């Protein structure tokens, strides 16, 4: 038998192309995302993003002297903040290795849309007690009825956001989109050096995990690492909830939303197994304000994510890929999220927004799970039907 | 004919714009064009490499290909 020369090199090349060259189909990313969200749930807590942003906002206001009391935990020890950092670094590493990292500048109007969109997402997430991840994806996965309401709100908000973008396209002409965008000539060649820098950051994340462990915070180290993997998976699949809620109205395409649905089915069943067997408490992650908070929050959030061009998680991974507009979206988000939550709390409005309703507590586990599946399958079929008929496509 | 030799009828400059603006503008422009005309889209958004061919396939536009310009953006060609 003839020994193939360079076998290892060939296999590595194939593996590289498969993982870092091609964009993963949405359903593949969805499956991986569900697995990682379940591992995170088992290891620590339900996955969320807005809680981490709220922590950052709280620190900023405290350091500026606007808020008197310091947050209980620092950004490196607050779970959602740590998983957000992991997500950002994961996307950054993934973008570097796949040679897609570039500092992307945008026309001025886009920056404005980034920060306003981020701010609206921050307000919406405060109302819904979570963003597209905590308030929708995790809420639904945890069988919290608030997740369903936020989903309806997100669809409505995305539709209105799309209407705005269409209006903007007709009425506000963006001058010189091209000139501002491309990186300066003679600058640093990220594409060439990317895979090596990415590899270095991967080692740094492992070192950070180990350091957390040494300091007695193994759990947080794990959260960072799982967040990192989530960032990689989301970037490789360009997994985007803004896309999922927008495309059925924009082009009719529903592949991203179908990826979200497949992901939710796995996440929901996995979480149910953990809760039903009391590995985790049944009420874990059930606190989303049904119905007013989740619906209204979803609406505002949905509109904001269309302006920003990314949801909470999508803004982080796009920021990791180098889009400056999405950095502003993250900034707008955390600057508005915390004060809005505080206002809702102190004014007593929060009382009227609703409370968490655990579906199996009303319908039993069996009934709740059957309804959960039927609901998602119904949505799946509706989206496919819209793909063929384009009934919901706005223009 | 290689992608680099294609002569486009209309050019859409979507550089610096991120998702969903390049797709939104492309959809609008394609709708306004006549049959068999060629649209060239300039984009810096990495998402376009997936979105543009995917959209063309669904809408029965002919995706003629793309190539990376040395100035750090990509040129896409679509025939209506």
Are B16 and A169 within 8 A, CB to CB? no
- Neighbouring C-beta atoms of residue A34, cutoff 10 Å: 23
Number of continuous H segments (helices) and E segments (strands) in chain A: 17, 0
Best A102, A104, A395 member to test B by mutation, with max B CBs in 10 Å, is A104
Distance between CA B9 and CA B77 in Å, rounded? 10
B72 touching A, CB under 8 A?
A: yes
Strands across the sheet containing B10-14: B10-14, B38-43, B73-79, B62-69
Tell me the β-bridge partners of B69: B73
Beta partners for residue B40, in sequence order:
B11, B77
Instruction: Write A71-76 long-range contacts (CB < 8 A, 24+).
Output: A76/A220
Degrees to nearest 5, angle at CA A247 with A242 and A248: 120
Check A309 against B72: CB less than 8 A apart. Answer: no
Q: What are phi and psi of B47, to 5 degrees?
A: -65, -25
Task: Say if residues A358 and A369 touch (Cβ distance below 8 Å).
Answer: no
B13 to chain A: nearest residue by CA?
A: A178
| Contact yes or no for B16 and A110 at CB 8 A | yes
Structure-token match 């290892």, residue found: A8
Complex ipTM over 0.85: yes
B16 Cβ under 8 Å from any chain A Cβ: yes
Interchain pair B20, A309: CB under 8 A: yes
Q: Residue B45: CB partners within 8 Å, gap ≥ 6?
A: A104, B14, B17, B18, B19, B22
Q: Are A271 and A141 in contact (CB under 8 A)?
A: yes
B37 touches chain A (CB under 8 A): no
* Reported pTM: 0.94
In A64-144, alpha helices (H): 79-97, 108-127, 139-141
Q: Distance between alpha carbon A183 and the CA centroid of its chain, in Å?
A: 27
The CB density around residue A184, as the number of other CB atoms within 10 Å, is 9
pLDDT at A118 (0 to 100): 98
Residues of B in contact with A183 (CB under 8 A): 72
What pLDDT is stored for residue A160 in this prediction? 98
Cβ contact, residue pair B15, A240, below 8 Å: no
Residue A239 has φ and ψ, to the nearest 5°, of: -75, 115
Q: Are strands B10-14 and B38-43 parallel, antiparallel or unpaired?
A: parallel
What span, in angstroms and rounded, lies between the C-alpha atoms of A363 and A365? 7
Q: What is the DSSP letter of A104?
A: B
Supply the DSSP string of A316-338, one letter for each residue. Answer: HHHHHHTBHHHHHHHHHHHHHHH
Least Cα distance to A298 among A47, A138, A128 occurs for: A128
Q: Which residue is closest to A326 within chain B, CA to CA?
A: B18
pLDDT of residue A395: 82
Q: What is the mean pLDDT of each run of 10 residues along chain A (395 residues)?
A: 76 92 94 98 96 96 92 96 98 95 92 97 98 97 97 98 95 58 56 91 98 98 98 97 97 96 98 95 94 97 97 96 96 96 95 95 96 97 96 91
User: What pLDDT is stored for residue A192 in this prediction?
Assistant: 82
* Element of type H or E holding A128: none
Compute how many other C-beta atoms are within 10 angstroms of the C-beta atom of residue A114.
28
Known catalytic membership, residue B19: yes
In chain A, which residues have their Cβ closer than 8 Å to the Cβ of B58?
251-253, 387
In chain B, which residues have their Cβ closer than 8 Å to the Cβ of A310? 18-19
* Closest listed residue to residue A244, CA positions, set A291, A297, A311: A311
Residue B36 contacts A, CB cutoff 8 Å: no
Cα nearest neighbour of B56 on chain A: A251
User: For the segment B27-60, what is each residue's pLDDT rounded down to a tens digit?
Assistant: 999 999 999 999 999 999 989 999 999 999 988 8
Closest CA to A96 of A23, A206, A9, A20: A20
- What lies within 8 Å, CB to CB, of A390 at 6+ separation is A252
* CB–CB contact A309 B15 (8 Å): no
What distances in angstroms separate CA B55 from CA A250, B6, B52, B74, B78, one per listed residue?
Answer: 11, 20, 5, 17, 10
On average, the pLDDT of chain B sits at 92
Considering only CB atoms, which chain B residues are within 8 Å of A321? 46
B11 touches chain A (CB under 8 A): no
CB A94 within 8 A of CB A19: no
What's the number of CA atoms in the CB half-sphere (13 Å) around residue A5?
0
Q: Does A25 touch chain B (CB under 8 A)?
A: no
Residue A81 CA from chain centroid, whole number: 13
Smallest CA–CA separation between A157 and chain B, in Å? 15
Residue pair A193/A54 in contact by the 8 Å Cβ criterion: no
Q: Which of residues 118-137 of A touch B (CB under 8 A)?
A: none
Catalytic residue among B3, B11, B19, B68: B19
């Amino acid at each position: 038998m003839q020994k193939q020369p360079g076998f290892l090199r060939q296999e590595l090349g194939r593996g590289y192309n498969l993982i870092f060259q091609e964009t993963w189909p949405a359903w593949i990313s969805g499956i991986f995302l569900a697995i990682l969200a379940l591992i995170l749930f088992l290891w620590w807590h339900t996955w969320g993003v807005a809680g981490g942003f709220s922590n950052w906002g709280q620190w900023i206001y405290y350091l500026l002297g606007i808020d008197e009391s310091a947050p209980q935990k620092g950004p490196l020890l607050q779970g959602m903040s740590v998983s957000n950092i992991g997500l950002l670094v994961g996307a950054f590493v993934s973008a570097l290795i796949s040679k897609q990292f570039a500092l992307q500048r945008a026309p001025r109007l886009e920056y404005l849309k980034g920060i306003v969109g981020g701010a609206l997402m921050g307000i919406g997430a405060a109302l819904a007690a979570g963003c597209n991840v905590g308030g929708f994806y995790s809420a639904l996965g945890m069988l919290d009825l608030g997740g369903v309401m936020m989903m309806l709100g997100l669809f409505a908000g995305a539709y209105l956001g799309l209407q705005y973008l269409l209006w903007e396209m007709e009425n506000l002409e963006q001058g010189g989109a091209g000139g501002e965008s491309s990186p300066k000539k003679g600058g640093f060649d990220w594409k060439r050096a990317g895979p090596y820098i990415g590899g270095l950051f991967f080692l740094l994340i492992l070192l950070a995990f180990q350091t957390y462990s040494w300091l007695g915070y193994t759990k947080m180290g794990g959260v960072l690492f799982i967040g990192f993997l989530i960032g990689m998976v989301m970037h490789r699949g360009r997994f985007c909830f803004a896309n999922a809620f927008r495309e059925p109205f924009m082009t009719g395409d529903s592949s991203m939303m179908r990826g979200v649905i497949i992901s939710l089915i796995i996440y929901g069943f996995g979480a149910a197994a953990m809760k039903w067997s009391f590995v985790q408490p049944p009420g874990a992650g059930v606190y989303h304000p049904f119905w007013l908070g989740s619906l209204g929050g979803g609406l505002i959030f949905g509109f904001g994510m269309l302006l920003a061009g990314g949801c909470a998680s999508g803004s982080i991974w796009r920021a990791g890929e180098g889009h400056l507009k999405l950095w502003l979206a993250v900034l707008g988000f955390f600057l508005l999220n915390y004060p809005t939550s505080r206002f809702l709390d102190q004014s007593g409005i929060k009382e009227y927004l609703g409370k968490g309703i655990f579906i199996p507590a009303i319908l039993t586990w069996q009934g709740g799970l059957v309804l959960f599946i039927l609901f998602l399958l119904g949505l799946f079929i509706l989206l496919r039907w819209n793909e063929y008929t384009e009934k919901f496509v706005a223009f | 004919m290689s992608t680099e030799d294609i002569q486009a009828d209309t050019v859409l400059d979507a550089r610096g714009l991120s998702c969903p603006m390049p797709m939104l503008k492309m959809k609008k422009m394609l709708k306004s064009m006549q049959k068999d005309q060629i649209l060239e889209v300039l984009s810096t958004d990495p998402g376009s490499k997936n979105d543009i061919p995917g959209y063309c396939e669904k809408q029965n536009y002919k995706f003629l290909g793309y190539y990376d310009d040395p100035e750090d953006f990509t040129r896409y060609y679509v025939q209506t």
